[in-house]
Amino acid sequence: MHLIIYYLIAFLWAIFTGFMFSSTGAAGGILASFGFITILGVQDANSIKVMSEILVLISPIVILHFYLRQKRFKKLKKILFLVGSTLGLGGLLGASLGSWISKSYLSDLKSFKYFFGYIAFMVVILMVYKMIKQKHNNKNGKSKKIDVDKFSSLKDGEMSKFSFKTINVKIDGEVYPIHPIFIFIAGFFIAILAAMFGVGGGFLFVPFLTDIVGFQVFFAAAISILSVLIIAAVSVSVYLSMGVHVIVPLLAVSLVGILTGSTIGPKLSRHVPNDWLRYAVIALLLFIGIAYVF
């Protein structure tokens, strides 16, 4: 009976994690890790990392399919995969390095929880910043779009000739200059941090793509999901190749839960104010940060 309750809790928490991640686009890996550590009592830090990343790997598959079905993405698929794969290529190297560093130097659960708490605080800061900036932009009628008149002849969803220095892409009538080498390097460093703590890295990808590259939020979220998918796959492979084991029954139950939550998230979230969901995530992350650091 105790075992049934244990796996039921794991299933319900995974549903909650998938729902929140697919609805807000943030903190999926952190919520998964918190569940394994505090709610389910897993003691092996490395197992926690790899199982969390497997869950993070499953959720973006469902969410990315949801994005690609939308009409607005039909013309933007080439740009989406160009930017996402460039981040992912940098992330391939970063995730490999980050996984090795974490397995070698961050295997103690107490130390892992301590630094993990700071990651939770970092996500809170980024989420609050994003909400304040978004409301400020809406209030003042400001746009994050970058207009490049020289390339206004480009059709929507098209890009200029490929160049390692600069590629100009057109999205919703606006032209954005992107720099592949810079994006590659950003993917590398974000992936190191994400792989070290078993999280997806979406909490860094989205601010990078909106505030630095200049993309609109809807497009940045889709690119982030694709990048997280690539990085999580690489990191999981590296962890498993180094002999990190997973708790198969627990992981299996959690996978069913995360798949369920990620599927119903985009549908149910339409009926819940987005700010409410963000506030809920922020409150939970603050609790995790305080509990693990102090």
Segment 75-114, tens digit of pLDDT: 788 888 888 889 989 999 999 999 999 999 999 999 999 9
Asked whether the whole model's pTM tops 0.85, one would answer no
Residue 132 CB partners (closer than 8 Å, separation 6+)? none
Domain residue limits, the chain: 2-293
Query: 32 with 228: CB under 8 angstroms?
Result: no
pLDDT tens digits for the chain (294 residues)? 788 999 999 999 999 998 887 777 667 888 999 999 999 999 999 999 999 999 888 877 777 777 777 777 777 888 888 888 899 899 999 999 999 999 999 999 999 999 999 999 998 998 888 778 777 666 554 444 445 455 556 677 777 776 777 888 877 777 888 889 999 999 999 999 999 998 888 888 888 888 888 887 778 878 888 888 888 889 999 999 999 999 999 999 999 999 898 888 767 766 777 778 788 888 999 999 999 998
Angstrom distances, CA of residue 37 to CA of 121, 173, 175, 238 = 17, 47, 45, 21
